Amino acid sequence: MDNPGNGSPRAGMARLTTRRELLRRGLLGAGALAFGSSLLAACSSASSPAAAPTSAPAAAAPTSAPAAAAPTTAPAAAPTKPPAAVPTAAPTTAPAAAPTTAAAGVSTPGSAGGTVTVGSNYSDAVPKKAMQNVFDAFTKKTGIQVVVNTVQHETFQEQINNYLQGKPDDVFTWFAGYRMQFFAAQGLASPIDDVWAKVGSNYSEAMKLASTGADGHMYFIPIYNYPWAIFYRKSLFKDKGYQIPRTLDQLKALCDQMKKDGITPFAFADKQGWPAMGTFDILNMRINGYDFHISLMAGKESWTDPKVKQVFQAWQSLLPYHQEGALGRTWEDAAQSLVAKKSGMYLLGSFVGQQFTNPADHDDLDFFPYPEINSQYNQDSIDAPIDGFMLSKAPKNPAGAKALLEFLATGEAQNIYLQSDPNDVAAAKDAKTDNYSALQKKAAEIIGQAKHIAQYLDRDTRPDFASTVMIPSLQQFLNNPNDIDSLLKKIDDQKKAIFTS
């Protein structure tokens, strides 16, 4: 996987770094607020308020679903190398040119019909219900039934390789960028150039590039994205006279004041393994810049570099301001401390708003970008992941599956989703933004203003490195933040084994 051949994820990664600059330009060219949909690119927008989820269709789940929950502390040893086969169905020509006008609806080929199965990681109440509403609308429009195989979010991600190598559903939820490219290069997803020939004009160049595989073919349909930032309650800041910090020193001073006021400065959780990645991402980008961060994620930098140690030292100095016992707490539970004003801030994606089920509380939610640490980079970078769908390697109903992907690429479908989950911003150009909340408009604005946009640690690097090395390593750091040198050497040794396999 380390060979820089044209079809390898590593080669794609080099191109993807350039693409992110194009992504930014595509975003800004569309207009930060009006486009709301051409936004670009950490983990996971699955979340859950207390309400019971709407049940998925009653049909039995496919037997190829991930069989067991993935441990949050995966083995440290390098995983077995995944199959290196290239997609056998990949077309030999470049993707067809996008039409000049946006698709007005969904074309249903004569062969389309029957049932389409979807492997979904939308396991929590709000996103699960929102996505089911989309599938119901598709069935009403086309007559094609959709059977959803919902798997718990973290389990889905940890078991995705086995799932895709077995007998996966026709369509599956996944992420743009490196993680999409990785599985496409393994032949575990089908190219959808024909779908993009119909829907391509409904996406910005930014979204198109984020959906392109390392081989130049299209593999991904974006539906929304969202920023990671520091979230807080406006009423708490107003009542206490807190000011938005612009620098790390100001942030620490604010944290000290919150502690004096009996408030835990930062809500924090890492039971699921991925939330702490967001802290590493933003500290690395603030201290060492976007280019170094992406190069580190691609396995091109040493984890024993003093630059990386500086990130962990900065994090170490901030840990006393965070909730204790993070490894025993889910992000949802941490969010409730922000809702209750027991914590003053929370570094997370905008999906945190799903936990604010009271409309008045949700209206009180706001955020600001992580403060400057190194003036060379200011606040020029953020994580803003793109979520969407892919076509499996051998769908049982390819015509029906592609009809579903066409529908998911419409503003109609994405607006239906956002009606129930108004914490993200739509990816399609024709999505209506006039009903966006103040939070959504601000999300569009902060993404549009960013000079560099990352996807999130577990999407910007190899999946095996993220799950088997970074999750347990970051959790080890949280348990023992005083042994940075040996931790970084351990990470670097494993990185070498994985990236040269």
d(CA 402, CA 171): 9
User: How does residue 111 score in pLDDT terms, banded at 50, 70 and 90?
Assistant: low
Mean pLDDT (the chain) is 82
Q: Which alpha helices (DSSP H) does 319-470 contain, by range?
A: 331-339, 359-363, 398-408, 411-420, 438-449, 457-460, 463-465
Residue 128, CA atoms < 13 Å, CB-side half-sphere: 23
Is residue 501 within 8 A of residue 8, CB to CB? The reply is no
At position 470, the amino acid (one-letter code) is M
SS3 label, residue 339: helix
Across 95-119, average pLDDT: 59
Element (H, E) at 189: strand 189-190
Predicted confidence at residue 14, as pLDDT, reads 35
d(CA 183, CA 85): 10
> Does 13 have pLDDT greater than 70?
no
| CA nearest to 196, candidates 33, 406, 422, 483 | 406
| CA nearest to 46, candidates 359, 387, 288 | 387
Predicted confidence at residue 106, as pLDDT, reads 63
Query: What are the pLDDT digits (tens) for 423-460?
Result: 999 999 999 999 999 999 999 889 888 889 899 999 99
Predicted confidence at residue 204, as pLDDT, reads 87
Q: Which alpha helices (DSSP H) does 166-274 contain, by range?
A: 178-185, 193-199, 205-210, 234-240, 248-260
Predicted confidence at residue 75, as pLDDT, reads 31
Third-level CATH fold of 228-383+457-499 = D-Maltodextrin-Binding Protein; domain 2 (3.40.190)
Q: Which residues contact 236 (CB under 8 A, 6 or more apart)?
A: 242, 263, 341, 344
- Give the 3-state secondary structure percentages of the chain, helix then strand then coil, rounded to 5: 45, 15, 40
pTM above 0.75, yes or no: no
Predicted confidence at residue 108, as pLDDT, reads 53
> Does 395 have pLDDT greater than 50?
yes
Q: Taken in order 246, 248, 253, 256, is the CA torsion positive or negative? A: positive
DSSP state of 327: G
Across 410-417, average pLDDT: 97
Least confident of 43-47, 210-214, 268-272, 438-442: 43-47
d(CA 376, CA 383): 18
Is residue 22 within 8 A of residue 16, CB to CB? The reply is no
> Does 36 have pLDDT greater than 90?
no
> Which CATH number does 9-226+386-440 carry?
3.40.190.10
Predicted confidence at residue 205, as pLDDT, reads 85
User: How does residue 88 score in pLDDT terms, banded at 50, 70 and 90?
Assistant: very low
Characterize the bridge pairing of strands 145-150 and 189-190: unpaired
> Does 232 have pLDDT greater than 80?
yes
> Does 499 have pLDDT greater than 70?
yes
Task: Pull the structure tokens for residue 184.
Answer: 């496409």
User: How does residue 113 score in pLDDT terms, banded at 50, 70 and 90?
Assistant: confident
> Does 8 have pLDDT greater than 60?
no
Characterize the bridge pairing of strands 386-392 and 221-225: antiparallel
d(CA 350, CA 356): 11
- What is the location of CATH 3.40.190.10 in the chain? 9-226+386-440, 228-383+457-499
Predicted confidence at residue 190, as pLDDT, reads 98
User: How does residue 104 score in pLDDT terms, banded at 50, 70 and 90?
Assistant: very low
| CA nearest to 348, candidates 372, 383, 316, 313 | 383
Is residue 444 within 8 A of residue 36, CB to CB? The reply is yes
Is residue 481 within 8 A of residue 309, CB to CB? The reply is no
Query: What are the pLDDT digits (tens) for 306-362?
Result: 999 999 999 999 999 999 999 999 999 999 999 999 999 999 999 999 999 999 999
Is residue 279 within 8 A of residue 370, CB to CB? The reply is no
